[in-house]
Amino acid sequence: MKESSKAAGPEIFRQRGDPDILHEKPHNHFINGDIYSRTALVCSAITLILGTLAMIGWLMGIRSLTSFVPGYIPIAPGAALAFILLGGAWYLYARAPSRRFTKIYVLVSVFSTSLIALLNLIQFLTGANAGIEEYFTRAVLTIDPGTYGAGPMSPITAVSFLLICVATVLLLFVPRYRAGLSSGMASVVVSVGLVVLMGYLYGTPQLYGGGYRYVALPAGVMFVFLGTGIIAAAGPEHFPLRLLVGPSIRALLMRSFLLVIFVVILIDGTFHSLLLRLGLTEALRAAMSALIALAITSVVISQISRVVGGAMDRTEAERKRTEQALLKSEQLYRSLFGNMLDAFAYCKMHFDDQGRPVDFVYLEVNSAFEKLTGLENVIGKKVTQVIPGIKESYPDLFEIYGRAALTGKPEKFEIDFKPLRAWFSISVYSIEKEYFVTVFDNITERKRAEEELKKRTEELARSNAELEQFVYIASHYLQEPLRTVSNFSQLLAKRYKGELDAKADQYFSFIVDGTSRMQQMIDDLLAYSQVIARTKPFEPTNCETAFDQALTNVKMAIEESGALVTHDPLPTVMADASQMVQLFQNLFSNAIKFRKEKPRITVSAVQRGNEWLFSVQDNGIGIAPEFMEYIFKMFEREHASSEYPGTGVGLAICKKIVEHHGGRIWVESEQGKGTTFYFTIPAKRVE
């Protein structure tokens, strides 16, 4: 039984109606814990009832109630009163232990009973009579104890009462570790009661106080019940219940042998009295008693053998099932352990006096450990023996393993382990202090691939940078000679127009046209190369502001075409503001250029997960399905420049800008019904 958290006192009983008492789990699985409180309640109630009946017998002059059996010694009025007080005290405490009245009543009952017992014991030992009990019985209750031949209280009864009172105080008002002593005292009282009953059963006065003062039969009965109640209240953790309850073979044998002893004594005593009344000779009585006892004992022992044997068989069967389950579990563990692709090592860490890790021993490894590391026969060896110099070369490794072995906190890391010429990905955790487990894999090939990928990525970045620089330089230096050719071509066309034949005028027109288109292509190429070269750090960019700036840049085209450009609410994103303006501007220009009627352009944006999805929808001529895959490539055009001017670089620049911002761009179109460009921008947190 656990101690109560309340200061009011220990929780001996578990009653559902008491608000200060908590319900707890059973003490064991064999007997539900509630049976102990119920047993204490029933035994205290029986004691109270029997004591009350005895007192009623005295008050109403019914002798049979004072002795239970006609002709037997009646219980003394003081003893009957003591049983009423103690039985009532335990009954009230079992029902409502936290009430103030209950505690006061218990203390008064214990004090009164102790006083009655002490006075009788002093009278027996010294002959001194204080007269308190006599005054109470004769003056208060108007009872004459000598009416039925009842004398003073037996010293055995007095000592038993004192033991009961001490046990009650220890169990109810002293810390719980005294419960064992209380249960032991109660066991002595129960034993006294049983001896008294046996004396009456066999007609042996020496067993119930012969030679001193007799213990009445009702006193023996009530001592058995009251003591049993106290033993039950103390619980199965203490003697004698500790030896009797539970599913163990020992407890089963103890219960069985006590049952045999009880049954044999009861039946033998009953037949002894019966045969004695029949007037049989002593030899015949002894023979018949022996035969009856043997028959009964044989039946009981046979039953006990069956019960105990069955319990032992069940225990053996359970042991075998447990062994089989353990063996199966071991086989499964060995199978999993041996077939793991990852290496496994179970180790014990050694620490110095300052608690620093200095070495560890391999206790168990799997086959993958040997395969991945190439180390063999390491079990039982220190790592400093297996890999000399490891502690000096990799002190951080020991710190990680030691930290995991002490704290139990798992860790994961990668290490370039040069003694084995390999990279490992290691997970370490602990299942017991100073012990740790490592599970690791050889990631050398992956690391080599990562290094190769990193090297190629750097080379590709360098190559792209050089190519962009080349494009920028080439386009920049090509502009000057091309401008010269264009200017002189235009001068020649003006100077000699009409002076030569028509074919010459046509040639001049081709030259001027070609140089103009070449100039535009170089300008667009230069703009494409500068998308990355002139990028700015990303900052919070209001897309509505970028939208308005793009409209301003294409204002003339909008006015000439009569275009209507609208937008839904647009977000603020982390971006290069100038590039966002260029992105919207190129898409607006594209929608205005490829029109069949008055352009209608709508821009919207919705957040999907961790990105913003933008759409730019128009009612233009649309895109042919076969040209969809070329739409974002440099200088790719669906229509001739004579139909729709341009170089085919604008959408390539859009794709470059979106990808630079970590997004994607694509197009959906139905020829003759319009086009919708979609692009995404990551929805990063805007500070």
Annotate 582-616 with DSSP letters as a single string: HHHHHHHHHHHHS-SSS-EEEEEEEEETTEEEEEE
What would the pLDDT profile of 645-686 be if each residue is shown by its tens digit?
656 677 888 888 898 889 999 999 888 888 999 999 998 765
Q: Which residue has the higher pLDDT, 473 or 204?
A: 204
- Co-location of 104 and 207 in the same domain: yes
When mean pLDDT is compared across 57-61, 121-125, 297-301, 322-326, the lowest value belongs to: 297-301
Place of tokens 């009532």: 88
- Co-location of 262 and 298 in the same domain: yes
Number of domains in the chain: 5
- Co-location of 255 and 211 in the same domain: no
Instruction: List the alpha helices (DSSP H) in 96-154.
Output: 100-126, 132-135
Q: Is 498 left (phi over 0), alpha (psi -120 to 50) or beta?
A: left
- Co-location of 158 and 59 in the same domain: yes
| Amino acid (1-letter code) at residue 512 | V
Please give the C-alpha separations between residue 27 and each of 86, 94, 248, 276, 455, in angstroms, as whole numbers.
26, 18, 15, 47, 70
Among the candidates 426, 444, 462, a domain finishes at 444
Whether residue 522 lies inside any domain: the answer is no
Among the candidates 479, 514, 549, a domain finishes at 514
- Co-location of 577 and 656 in the same domain: yes
Whether residue 372 lies inside any domain: the answer is yes
Report, as an integer, the average pLDDT of 453-458: 86
- Co-location of 491 and 571 in the same domain: no
Determine how many CB atoms are found less than 10 A away from the CB of residue 341.
Answer: 9
Annotate 282-324 with DSSP letters as a single string: HHHHHHHHHHHHHHHHHHHHHHHHHHHHHHHHHHHHHHHHHHH
Q: Which residue has the higher pLDDT, 82 or 286?
A: 82
pLDDT tier for residue 582 given thresholds of 50, 70 and 90:
confident
Instruction: List the alpha helices (DSSP H) in 13-33.
Output: none
Q: Is 7 helix (H, G, I), strand (E, B) or coil?
A: coil
Please, what is the end-to-end C-alpha distance for the chain in angstroms? Answer: 61
- Co-location of 89 and 155 in the same domain: yes
Report, as an integer, the average pLDDT of 59-87: 86
Residue-averaged pLDDT of the chain:
79
So what's the pLDDT on residue 525? 62
Annotate 188-238 with DSSP letters as a single string: HHHHHHHHHHHHHHHT-GGGGTTTS-PPPHHHHHHHHHHHHHHHHHH-TTS
So what's the pLDDT on residue 480? 65
So what's the pLDDT on residue 623? 83
Report, as an integer, the average pLDDT of 161-185: 83
What would the pLDDT profile of 276-300 be if each residue is shown by its tens digit?
666 666 666 667 767 776 776 677 6
CATH of the domain at 590: 3.30.565.10
Annotate 388-400 with DSSP letters as a single string: TTHHHH-HHHHHH
So what's the pLDDT on residue 342? 86
Is pLDDT above 70 for 303? no
Whether residue 313 lies inside any domain: the answer is yes
Whether residue 455 lies inside any domain: the answer is yes
When mean pLDDT is compared across 400-409, 423-432, 489-498, the lowest value belongs to: 489-498
- Co-location of 53 and 168 in the same domain: yes
176-182-185 Cα angle (round to 5): 170
So what's the pLDDT on residue 544? 93
- Co-location of 296 and 264 in the same domain: yes
Percent of the chain with pLDDT over 90: 23
Whether residue 338 lies inside any domain: the answer is no
Whether residue 24 lies inside any domain: the answer is no
- Co-location of 93 and 222 in the same domain: yes
Among the candidates 444, 465, 482, a domain finishes at 444
pLDDT tier for residue 29 given thresholds of 50, 70 and 90:
very low
Report, as an integer, the average pLDDT of 84-101: 87
Report, as an integer, the average pLDDT of 503-512: 70
Whether residue 676 lies inside any domain: the answer is yes
Percent of the chain with pLDDT over 70: 72
- Co-location of 437 and 451 in the same domain: no
Tokens of 47: 């004691």
Whether residue 6 lies inside any domain: the answer is no
Report, as an integer, the average pLDDT of 602-619: 92
Is pLDDT above 70 for 633? yes
CATH of the domain at 392: 3.30.450.20
- Co-location of 435 and 455 in the same domain: no
| Domain span including residue 128 | 35-235
Q: Is 655 helix (H, G, I), strand (E, B) or coil?
A: helix
pTM check: above 0.85: no
